[in-house]
Structure 1
Amino acid sequence: MNRRRFIKASMALAAACGTPALATLFSREAWAQEAGIADGQSRAFDFSVLQSMARDLASQPWGGAPRPLPQTLATLTPQQYNSIQYDAAHSLWSNIEGRELDVQFFHVGMGFRRRVRMFSLDAATRQAREIHFRPELFNYNDAGVDTRQLEGQSDLGFAGFRAFKAPELARRDIVSFLGASYFRAVDDTYQYGLSARGLAVDTFTDTPEEFPDFTAFWFETPKADDTTFVVYTLLDGPSVTGAYKFTIHCEQAQVIMEVENHLYARKDIKQVGIAPMTSMFSCGNHERRMCDTIHPQIHDSDRLAMWRGNGEWICRPLNNPQKLQFNAFQDNNPKGFGLLQLDRDFDNYQDIMGWYNKRPSLWVEPRNSWGKGSVNLMEIPTTGETLDNIVCFWQPEKPIKAGDTLNFKYRLYWSAQPPVHTPLARVRATRSGMGGFPEGWAPGEHYPTTWARRFAIDFTGPGLKEAAPRGIEPVITLSNGEAKQVEILYVEPFDGYRIQFDWYPTNDSVDPVEMRMFLRCQGEAISETWLYQYFPPAPDKRNYVDDRQMR
């Protein structure tokens, strides 16, 4: 857990505390034999059983908010909650000698009130047994928990789980599912960053956002040398239920998740977000409003990248706007999209707490036909790094009606770099600052100055140096204002080209300016497309103040 994970997940709780279908199928009986820590009755289970369960559940009313927790857990502080540690001796697969993978569970408490049920599934026999809560699975340390209040609370469940991979078994986790339907993974840096979700519901509509929960998990027991494990989960919320299958590949430098979901609408839904992800952007090279700190940049992700169905590659730098912004990028059968953290240089962050230079990127690769819809991006104002303010997801074009069934398959790549990228030149960085005067001079010094905003977009990659003798042409499109002083500069330190231009307003509008640019040579595109949303200041702020005048 970190600060942002706790705040986000505790605010996100809004789902049922139990399901009649689940209780009927997996009623608890006392068994004499033991299968690791699983102590429930053995029942047949596979993905089709889970789909039937989710479908049946969708025909029933939503179960409502979670039941209250015992007082000793409900009143925990974040520090106390973090003191509760799962006992590694009781991890899910601790009885597998020489194992590559293992799983431990999170305790309920504090804001994590969802009682999530856990099941161990034998991959050969397809028999599942529940793992019931009991205090001896945890070390309470100095959390101040009165364990007497937990005795006989076998239905308390768990808050979520985390997975480990050798050689870091029980020391550093690589996958975490905790809070509503949120989950995260790492790359080879073992540093968590942005989060994904099972589903987003009404994120940007005129109705309150819903946060459906993963309410139960089934873990297939892997072989000792497996580096892949399979987990099934049931989603339940006011408007929708779902059956999910996660095949999680724990590779050396990345985690890859194959996701298959079957969604069942309880009622009409205004907005469904598929493969949603949540990140943080406070400030960067082009947006300095909240960078009055010792850190040059603060963000989990620096851009939205899209590989459109027509083959076009898009780079959209993220913003921390002064008011909420929502953008929908229309597409048909997208090839991929994601929130990326491509700047991995420590010097650009100087952060020894958040280690933003180590944060992974997340790329979504659709595996079936998604049809028409849009990649949606919501950017929320934030004053710092403790709250996620970036949301991205795919929204199908067709409205969702009660009784509808949807099926999506996709892969999630958690890694430093996305698994694919354009063969053309890529955007390396975006910068902005004062404009309207020659580079190297101060505003008004020897030259009359008209207020403007300067943008510098750095491109690197194949084809640029070869195209230079034939002529590199920046193709700039603006929704308002005009671009002047366009320059094409070769930059030796990163062996690429900087396209620099000044944006001049042509009216007093403060509406966002949509900017678009790509590079071409003799009529042929040689770069991905750069998109940007600029927020002009009010007309009375469009001036430069000479500090020597002391005003």
Structure 2
Amino acid sequence: MNRRMFMKASMAFSAVSGMTGLSTLFAQSAWADDGIADGTAVRFDFEVLKQKAASLAKQPWGGQPGPLPQTLADLTPQQYNAIQYDANHSLWNNIPDRELDVQFFHVGMGFKRRIRMFSVDAESRQAREIHFRPELFNYHDADVDTKQLQGKTDLGFAGFRAFKKPELARRDIVSFLGASYFRAVDETYQYGLSARGVAINTFGSHEEFPDFTAFWFETPKADDTTFTVYALLDGASVTGAYKFTIHCEEKRVVMEVENHLFARKDIEQLGIAPMTSMFSCGTNERRMCNTYHPQIHDSDRLAMWAGSGEWIARPLDNPQRLQFNAYQDENPRGFGLLQLDHNFENYQDVIGWYDKRPSLWVEPVGKWGKGSINLMEIPTTGETLDNIVCFWRPAAPVKAGSEFNFSYKLYWSQLPPVRSSLARVGATRTGIGGFPEGWAPGEHFPDTWCRRFAIDFIGGDLKAAAPKGIEPVITVSSGTFKQVEILYVEPLDGYRILFDWYPNSDSTAPVDMRLFLRTKEETLSETWLYQYFPPAPDQRKYTDDRQMTPA
């Protein structure tokens, strides 16, 4: 949990869905002890869950969650954080020398949905519910009146988190908390961007936040570093059955995801494998960097490996107005929001530790067909709100009663699992243009306003290709570009491409820019995509605001 998750919870979780009809999934049988699982045993498998999700889609949505006991509804973030799960009651505490374990989050504050949890024996397929009881938690200084919670076995939980080697490290590596949000870490143990089970009408008339309303955990063996959890999704417009196979590797977390979605209503915009991140300012957008931090972001780019084989890097932005872009594709090979700058000096942040934030890469399994990778960028004045959303949108319309299923892998790691052999975009910078590189504007500013762009390309075979002649291929959707330069930058061991963009109208509409490097024989780099927002005509001037105090 961090400050951004709390603020996101207060906005999003009032819209999440209910638990309608879940109890009909289970038949009664004799009770038996199974660690902290105290419910009756019933048979469970993924096929049963898919049937339940399909049946649930034909029923009315249960609506928003009911009220919590007053002692939980009024919790402050500090009080909520003070509630800690008792590790002696962790899900797999009864397995000696285990590699993995799971603990649960308490409901309260903005986390109002009561989620049911079940323990599943992997061999017998018998599932038992884990009911809420106050003794599972330590309340410390949370100022919770536990008398109001006694006997509230239906209170459920808000989510769960998973630990690796719990005897040695008490830091969680996977967290599912709020709506269908979840996150994981890499070897730095630093959380960053979030994923979601599904996105509904993100850039539509009314965004929805379906909820994971129940989880089933297969009990692993002691030496397993992989565990499987199933989830039921329920929302106003969609239900779903999910299977997560979560590999807790040494330096990263890899999730295999299989979902089966059932539409209750027509859906204007269905988002598959959605992810949510934050970009306040970076090398290309300095407008909001009004603190001592050189950069502030969880992710610095959208990366795409198109079905055609093209590699694309699209730097993220903190725009002055809401922006939405759709990149058409067919059978994409991968995409993700990446954080590729891991140099502390470029952030100077000892609270957020943005240099340690992981990237998230989506690898589709099977053919996804036609659709588009959608990117929404929301203006923000700081780092406390996630303002970047990305997902795959299928081209096929989503009508009430229709069914969809998608399989994919999620890689939570510093670098994506696949890299092109081409030169990649290192950084993007912009600033004043209209003068020769190596010269300051000096006493006389340029007569004609323009904007300079500097794009660094590193890696690949650029140095070997240089004798053949490196050609920047630049296209812009409006205006013109001039003063193109190619500079070898020794500290980067790469090449910097410079060009100045000149407007040809008073329009402030965004300008789409595209650049890649080639020789006559071959493509040398991934493709740089950028969206520039020209200022209003009355702001297209250079003002010398430098001041000196006379001696």
8 Å contact from structure 1 (residues 101, 169) kept in 2 = no
- Asked whether 1:172 is paired with 2:171, we answer yes
Question: Match of 1:106?
Answer: 105
Give the structure 2 partner of residue 437 of structure 1: 435
In the other structure, the counterpart of 2:469 is 471
Deviations 1:64-96 (A, max 9, x none): 110110000000000000000000000000110
The residue matched to 2:345 in structure 1 has which SS?
helix
Structure 2 equivalent of residue 133 of structure 1: 132
Counterpart-to-counterpart distance in 2, 1:522 and 1:65: 60
Is residue 286 of structure 1 aligned with residue 269 of structure 2? no
2:312 match: 314
Q: State whether residues 30 and 40 of structure 1, in contact with CA within 8 Å, keep that contact through their aligned partners in structure 2.
A: no
Aligned position for 1:221: 219
Tell me whether 1:85 sits opposite 2:84 in the alignment: yes
Query: Which has the higher mean CA deviation after the structures are superposed, 420-429 or 213-222?
Result: 420-429
Match in the other structure for 2:490:
492
Deviates more, 1:421-430 or 1:373-382: 421-430
Q: Does 1:54 align with 2:43?
A: no
Shift of 1:169: 5.5
The aligned residue for residue 10 of structure 2 is 10
Letter in 1 for 2:17: A
Pair 182,169 (structure 1): closer, same or farther in 2 beyond 3 Å: farther
Question: 5 Å matches for 1:353-392?
Answer: 353-392=351-390
Letter in 2 for 1:545: T
Seen in structure 2, the aligned counterparts of structure 1 residues 168 and 334 have a Cα distance that, compared at 3 Å, is farther
Aligned residue in 2 for 1:24: 24
Contact 2:378–2:387 at 8 Å: present in 1 too?
A: yes
Could you say which residue in structure 2 is the equivalent of 1:341?
Answer: 339
Provide closer, same or farther for how the CA distance between residues 2 and 529 of structure 1 changes in structure 2, counting only shifts above 3 A: same
* Paired letter, 1:461: G
Letter in 1 for 2:523: A
* Distance 1:466-1:375 versus aligned 2 partners, 3 A rule: same
Which amino acid in 2 is paired with 1:464?
A: L
**Residue 437 (structure 1) shift:** 1.4
Task: Say what the alpha-carbon RMSD is for the aligned residues.
Answer: 1.4
C-alpha displacement at 1:525, in angstroms?
A: 1.0
Residue 256 of structure 2 is matched in structure 1 by 258
Return the alpha-carbon distance in structure 2 between the equivalents of residues 324 and 11 of structure 1: 18
SS at match of 2:98: coil
1:183 aligns with 2:187: no
The aligned amino acid for 1:211 is F
Per-residue CA deviations over 1:523-547 (Å, capped at 9, x if unaligned) read: 4211100000000111111111122
Partner SS state of residue 412, structure 1: strand
Alignment correspondent of 2:241: 243
Cα pair 1:84 1:141 within 8 Å, conserved: yes
1:438, distance to aligned residue in structure 2 (A): 2.2
Residues paired across the two proteins, number: 547
Deviation at 1:168, TM superposition (A): 6.3
**2:131 aligned with 1:163:** no
Q: Which AA in structure 2 matches 1:284?
A: G
How far apart in 1 are the matches of 2:182 and 2:513?
A: 33
What SS class does the counterpart of residue 400 from structure 1 fall into?
coil
Contact 2:331–2:370, Cα closer than 8 Å, also in 1:
yes
**TM-score (norm: length of structure 1):** 0.97
- Identify unmatched segments of 5+ residues in structure 2: none
Amino acid at match of 1:8: K
**TM superposition shift of 1:450:** 2.3
Which residue of 1 is the match for residue 451 of structure 2?
453
C-alpha distance in 2 between matches for 1:147 and 1:447: 69
Q: Distance in 2 between matches of 1:402 and 1:37?
A: 40
User: In 2, Cα distance between the equivalents of 1:410 and 1:263?
Assistant: 14
Q: Which amino acid aligns with 1:56?
A: S
1:225-248 CA deviation, whole Å, 9 max, x = no partner? 000000000000000000000000
CA distance in 1, matches of 2:255, 2:371: 23
Judged with a 3 Å threshold, the aligned counterparts in structure 2 of structure 1 residues 450 and 234 are, in CA distance, closer, same or farther, namely same
2-structure distance, mates of 1:38, 1:541: 65
Contact 2:30–2:41 under 8 Å retained in 1? no
